Amino acid sequence: MASPEPNKPLMRSIGEFFGHIIRGIRHDVTKERHVIEKQQSEEKKGRFVLRETRIREIEVRDVE
């Protein structure tokens, strides 16, 4: 990912790096409501190409 600031100081880069790690650790995964998995496959047979896309979606609901 390109930085908009071309000469970013090393200490700022290190701070951003650890900030991303800490944000990932503190992230509450119980707030995730949907999980989507997408798989694609392609099969070639002579002049024909078979493409298949499978999408699986999991919705997590609160127990009442």
Contact 41, 55 (CB under 8 A): no
Model-level pTM? Answer: 0.39
Using alpha carbons, list the distances in angstroms from residue 49 to 38, 42, 46, 53, 54. 19, 7, 8, 13, 16
Mean pLDDT of the chain: 82
> Is residue 64 very low, low, confident or very high in pLDDT (cuts 50, 70, 90)?
low
pLDDT digits (tens, 9 = 90+) for 19-49: 999 988 887 766 666 667 888 899 998 999 9
